[in-house]
Amino acid sequence: MSNLLKITLYSLGAILAFTLFFYFYPASIFEAEIVERPETRYILDVSMKGLMDVNALPEKVDPNLVISSALTFKGWFLLIICLVGVPIMIGYRLATQEPKNKEQ
């Protein structure tokens, strides 16, 4: 198998694992701006599940009044690092690591 294919497969596996981890683990680390009906704006740290489902937002926010939720620059930056940057580095490291020989 070519080295590039191994890097790609390991990276995609790591991206999938990190995405599932951050979706199911309620770590509120992604900064987002939440807009409610009477022009109330919050900038809160939310989980990835909260980004995709307004019912999973923090208790401070009423899901019935939410108009929109969007990541801030800091939120996008952290999301890209957590879901793309680190998994690609892990995939590269796993694919280029030499097998250890026990007969040394």
Q: pLDDT digits over 18-39, tens only?
A: 999 999 998 889 999 988 888 8
**Is residue 65 domain-resident?**
yes
Domain count for the chain, please give it.
1
Q: What is the pTM of this model?
A: 0.80
**Is residue 71 domain-resident?**
yes
Which residues span the domain enclosing 35? Answer: 3-96
What mean pLDDT is predicted for residues 85-97? 90
* 17-23 contact pairs (CB < 8 A, 24+): 17/87, 18/82, 18/83, 18/86, 18/87, 19/48, 19/83, 22/47, 22/48, 22/82, 22/83, 23/48, 23/49, 23/52
**Is residue 104 domain-resident?**
no
**Is residue 102 domain-resident?**
no
**Is residue 52 domain-resident?**
yes
* pLDDT the model gives residue 14: 93
**Is residue 103 domain-resident?**
no
Per-residue confidence at 104, pLDDT binned at 50, 70, 90? low
* pLDDT the model gives residue 38: 82
**Is residue 19 domain-resident?**
yes
